[in-house]
Amino acid sequence: MKPELIERLNQINQEFYAAFATAFSETRKSARELEVILPYIAYGARVLDIGCGNGRVAALLAEHRHDVMYVGIDSSPELIARSRMHDASRRSQVASFWVADIAKPDWTNYLPQWREEAGTGAFDCILLLAVLHHIPGSDVRARIMRQVCELLSPRGRVVISTWQFVDNERMRKKIVPWSAAGIDEHELEPGDALLSWKRGGVGLRYCHWIGEDEMRLLAAQAGLNVVETFRAGGREGTLSLYGVLAVEAN
């Protein structure tokens, strides 16, 4: 994919979260559907939550894994501000939130204090929940996964979730023509889609369908193994494909 198109697709998502941070957060109040990740996060673990949004994973861990060391990052300053505001009322965990855009190759360099605290290979669990499918470009997604692997402890776990909007009737109805964004669909990669948003206004988001085959490919490219997959989330309980990745073989 051409760099200028990747930049345009990233811009679409950045503009969406800047405009709809409040409306988006309203749809992400509860963390109950994310309780499926708890078995993969040990007590006292060091957790990196990539694409932390409004901080609902931090709230979940404050309730169920209050002794974790938690770092949340997101490319949206608006959502990070909300995460920090919500976190101010929680004193039972060590948590910090940072603005960082993983679409940029040097995203780990934006956070010197975080790098000093965490270092390389410092995280026992790295979460990419409903975030990787918003990253345009197969090469970019592969690079991100390699960087994630470098930050993972030797016996750590990566937990990924990706929307399965292709086989979800409710989500398929949100797909709109690329002409809505002035983009030639022939320049895109297979699985790329433009999804509409109609809460608090009308918006657009870029999304890429990542099925189990692509998830396994991304893992292999990063030197990781998929040790488990399952479906959960959404109204149907099957919206997201979850993958649990590790360095060692299953």
Query: DSSP for 87-101?
Result: HTT--SSEEEEEE--
In eight-state DSSP terms, residue 189 is P
The average confidence (pLDDT) of the chain is 87
Mean pLDDT of 149-159: 93
Lowest average pLDDT, out of 8-17, 73-82, 163-172, 233-242, goes to: 73-82
Q: Is the pLDDT of residue 247 over 80?
A: yes
CA distance 177 to 163: 19
∠ CA(190), CA(191), CA(195), 5° rounding? 135
Task: Write down the domain spans for the chain.
Answer: 3-246
Q: What is the pLDDT of residues 183-209, one digit of tens each?
A: 999 999 999 999 998 888 889 999 999
What value does the mean pLDDT take over residues 141-162?
94
The answer, yes or no, to whether residue 116 has pLDDT greater than 70, is: no
- Where residue 232 falls among pLDDT bands split at 50, 70, 90? very high
Answer whether 18's CB lies under 8 Å from 97's CB: no
Q: Which H or E element spans position 161?
A: strand 152-163
Is residue 169 over pLDDT 60?
yes
Whether the predicted pLDDT of 91 surpasses 70: no
Phi-psi region for residue 20, left (φ > 0), alpha (ψ -120 to 50) or beta?
alpha
Distance CA 139, CA 135 (A): 10
Number of H helices, E strands in the chain: 7, 10
Calculate the dihedral angle through the C-alpha atoms of 56, 60, 63, 67, rounding to the nearest 10 degrees. Answer: -100
Q: Give me Rg for the CA atoms of the chain.
A: 17
The predicted pLDDT at position 104 comes to 93
Residues 35-55, mean pLDDT to the nearest whole number: 92
232 φ/ψ angles, rounded to the nearest 5 degrees: -165, 170
Q: Determine the Cα angle at 171 with ends 162 and 60, to 5°.
A: 45
Residue tagged 């960082």 (tokens):
100
What residue type is assigned to position 186 of the chain?
H
- For the entire predicted model, the pTM comes to 0.91
Query: Residue 250: what pLDDT?
Result: 46
Q: How far apart are CA 151 and CA 153, in angstroms?
A: 7
Q: Which residue type does 169 have?
A: E
Confidence band for 18, pLDDT divided at 50, 70 and 90: confident
**What confidence score (pLDDT) does residue 112 get?**
53
**Helix or strand or coil: residue 142?**
helix
Q: How many CA atoms lie within 13 A of 41 on its CB side?
A: 28
From CA 134, how far away is CA 205, in angstroms rounded? Answer: 8
CA–CA gap between residue 89 and residue 2 (Å, rounded): 44
Better pLDDT: 7 or 69: 7
Which of these CATH numbers, 3.40.50.150, 3.90.1010.10, 3.30.360.10, 3.40.50.970, describes 3-246?
3.40.50.150
